[in-house]
Amino acid sequence: MRWTSEQRQAIAAEGNLIVSAAAGAGKTAVLTERIVSRVVSGVPVERLLVLTFTRAAAAEMKSRIANRLNTLAEETQNPELARFLRRQARAVDGAYLSTIHAFCARVLRRHYYAVGLPARARTADEMESAALIETVRDELLTQLSVEENEEYRTLLSSFGGEQPAWDAVIQTYRFTRSEPDPEAWLNRAEERYSDDAALERILQDAVAFSQREIALMMEPLTAARDSLSPDWAGVISVLDDDLSRYRALLLAKQYDSYRAALQALEYGVLRFPRGTAEAEKKPVQDARAAGKDLVKEQQKRFSREKEETLAVLKRSGETVRALVEITRRFERAYTEAKREANVLDYDDLEHLTLQALRQEPIEAEYREQFRWIAVDEYQDSNRVQEEILNRISTGDNLFFVGDVKQSIYRFRQAEPKLFLQKLALFSGAQGTRIDLKSNFRSSSVVLDAVNEVFEAILTEETGDIDYDARARLVCGTSQPEGAAELHLIERKRAETEGETEEDPLENAADLEVEARLIASHIHEMLEREPYVDTRTGETRSYRYADFAVLLRAGTDAQTVSQTLSQQGIPCYAQT
């Protein structure tokens, strides 16, 4: 295989290394070759720890490594090396190459006694865990009602009913399970609302957050102002006044001064030159309206004076303390239910492994075991997993690969900031950072479109990273010419106050609008544009069979196919 210079560096580099690998950059091939190169240098596979995100990825990785080792054994002229490589290929199946949960289960099978586990404890799947949680929930809520529990009544009052109160409890519980010390996190949550200095910091955080909103809003307004010709002097003057008032907000240092500046905001009247077309007015009007809407929202947010807001936060502390206590009650009841059923859930695997590794002899065993540690899809790790890795690492044998732009598991408490911290840390003396930007899957027009969109919307404020030269995708292959277009459909729908859940009927209606747009575009291409068949070189008209519609979810296929059929486009759906 022909490697790029960055790929070769990622394969060969020593010490701590983090690889930021864009989509289609060949990270799996690089990771496989890096593992194989370590084995070829004489490191047995049992001395390597390789963690993947899924069991399927682990199985694929094992197959790739074993096949590559066998191929190298066939190619080498060194009989002793060939025998070693074949032995290692056979040993791959039993190596420490698995998901983090499979690794934790393996540690606990060996050291179950160190954490007080029964020898035959098993891991429950997600459905069994969910069923057990529901059972514990019903029993606990019944018990709290019988007790007329004060904390439970506080939650019911604060959240407006049993289901939202329970949702808050289970969300809090799940969040704490991503922390190395859940109890310490709960203690800090309680204490925060009893500490005047901590409450002051909450207000300062609110001001800082609101100022970031203002700064982001000012960017399109400034761009609109700068695009105007001197003939629009009156409009420019009004926009300059708006921007001056917004800059004054950014200079406010305290809650009271920010609130006062916000409440005092007034706007001049925007008068366009006579005869200005509506299309010319719209960019300015939209940018200005976005600023006004944000200010109205913030004025509601800062409607109370500082002392009144502090008093409200202190009262909120009662809800927080009640939430913490009921979460603790649930955790104890759920733990007991799992003990009686002799099962563990996936969170238990991580926490009990961490508990075992906090014992020096066990920690030393695994630190000495692994010469090299690799983690795939590192952007979806959590803090418990990070602590496990820190305890078994020698400090200079870590290899991380991933892409923070592809982090999709925050709802499962993944912490992509760990990846960003390593990018910064390994860009200095403590390691090496390598960016794999070349995409070998997509054409240049697709990548150019992706780059243009993300350069416009992805910043450190909106997505934790700036979409800079290091993040841009680079075409690494030759693909047929084509084009990419982005169509934005403006939604103008009255929203019901307090309505937060998605409406399936509204979503279906949105999808029908998109499908009608697709149908219109297909009709235009059939009538006007020639098609060059890349297989035959023939130039011809488009056919319906030349088109494919890719959907985010298979459940959308029926709606789209029905709409296309109604628009006269023959199609079929495949999920």
Q: What angle do CA 258, 259, 262 make, to 5 degrees?
A: 85
- Could you tell me the pLDDT band of residue 495, with boundaries at 50, 70 and 90? very low
Strand partners, 49: 96, 373
Identity of residue 516: R
Whole-angstrom distance, CA of residue 393 vs CA of residue 364: 10
* 464 neighbors 421 (Cβ within 8 angstroms): no
pLDDT of 23 above 50: yes
Whole-angstrom distance, CA of residue 297 vs CA of residue 308: 19
- pLDDT value for 499: 46
- pLDDT value for 461: 73
Give the single-character DSSP code of 413: T
174-194 burial string, b = 16+ CB within 10 Å, else e?
Answer: eebbbbbebeebbeebeebbe
Q: What is the mean pLDDT of residues 377-393?
A: 94
Q: Which residues contact 471 (CB under 8 A, 6 or more apart)?
A: 22, 405, 437, 454, 458, 465
Whole-angstrom distance, CA of residue 249 vs CA of residue 243: 10
565: how many CB neighbours lie within 10 A of its CB? Answer: 14
Q: Which residues contact 108 (CB under 8 A, 6 or more apart)?
A: 115, 117, 121, 344, 349, 352, 353, 356
Whole-angstrom distance, CA of residue 279 vs CA of residue 276: 8
pLDDT of 142 above 90: yes
Identity of residue 325: E
Handedness of CA 442, 443, 446, 448 (dihedral sign): positive
Please tell me whether the overall predicted TM-score, pTM, comes out greater than 0.75 for this model.
yes
Whole-angstrom distance, CA of residue 344 vs CA of residue 113: 15
pLDDT of 133 above 90: yes
DSSP string computed for 188-202: HHHHHTT-HHHHHHH
Lowest mean pLDDT among 305-319, 474-488, 496-510: 496-510
pLDDT of 352 above 90: yes
381: how many CB neighbours lie within 10 A of its CB? Answer: 26
Mutual angle of helices 383-392 and 360-369, in 10-degree steps? 80
Residue 420: what are its φ and ψ, rounded to 5°?
A: -65, -40
How far is Cα of residue 65 from the mean position of the Cα atoms in its chain? Answer: 29
- pLDDT value for 508: 57
Q: What is the mean pLDDT of residues 502-521?
A: 76
Contacts by residues 488-497 (CB-CB < 8 Å, ≥ 24 positions apart): 489/513, 489/514, 489/517
Strand partners, 98: 51
Instruction: Write out the two tokens for 250.
Output: 């950014």
Three-state DSSP state, 100: helix
- pLDDT value for 492: 62
Identity of residue 513: V
* 97 neighbors 50 (Cβ within 8 angstroms): yes
Query: Among candidates 467, 491, 464, 327, which has minimal Cα distance to 407?
Result: 464
Report the relative pairing of strands 96-99 and 122-123 from DSSP bridges: unpaired
- pLDDT value for 506: 54
Handedness of CA 553, 559, 565, 569 (dihedral sign): negative
Q: Which residues contact 302 (CB under 8 A, 6 or more apart)?
A: 206, 210, 255, 258, 259, 262, 263
H helix intervals, 264-305:
278-301
Instruction: Write out the two tokens for 181.
Output: 């010390």
Which helix (DSSP H) or strand (DSSP E) does residue 133 occupy?
helix 126-147
- pLDDT value for 318: 92
Q: What angle do CA 498, 499, 500 make, to 5 degrees?
A: 110
Q: What is the mean pLDDT of residues 2-18?
A: 92
* 178 neighbors 383 (Cβ within 8 angstroms): yes
pLDDT of 500 above 60: no
* 206 neighbors 304 (Cβ within 8 angstroms): no
Q: Which residue has the tokens 């009004």?
A: 238
Q: What is the mean pLDDT of residues 368-383?
A: 94
Three-state DSSP state, 48: strand
Q: What percent of the chain has pLDDT over 90?
A: 67
pLDDT in tens, 169-228: 999 999 999 999 999 999 999 888 888 898 999 999 999 999 999 999 999 999 999 999
Lowest mean pLDDT among 244-258, 493-507, 532-546: 493-507
138: how many CB neighbours lie within 10 A of its CB? Answer: 10
User: What Å distances lie between residue 239 and 192, 262, 268, 478, CA to CA?
Assistant: 42, 17, 9, 47
pLDDT in tens, 248-298: 999 998 999 999 999 999 999 989 988 889 989 999 999 999 999 999 999
Which helix (DSSP H) or strand (DSSP E) does residue 91 occupy?
helix 79-91
Residue 571: what are its φ and ψ, rounded to 5°?
A: -160, 165
Q: What angle do CA 481, 487, 492 make, to 5 degrees?
A: 175
Instruction: Write out the two tokens for 157.
Output: 């009052």
- Rounded to a whole number of angstroms, the CA Rg of the chain reads 29
Give the single-character DSSP code of 117: -
Whole-angstrom distance, CA of residue 372 vs CA of residue 190: 40
User: What Å distances lie between residue 568 and 94, 546, 562, CA to CA?
Assistant: 56, 16, 10
Three-state DSSP state, 484: coil
Mapping DSSP onto H, E and C, the string for 152-169 reads HHHHHHHHCCHHHHHHHH
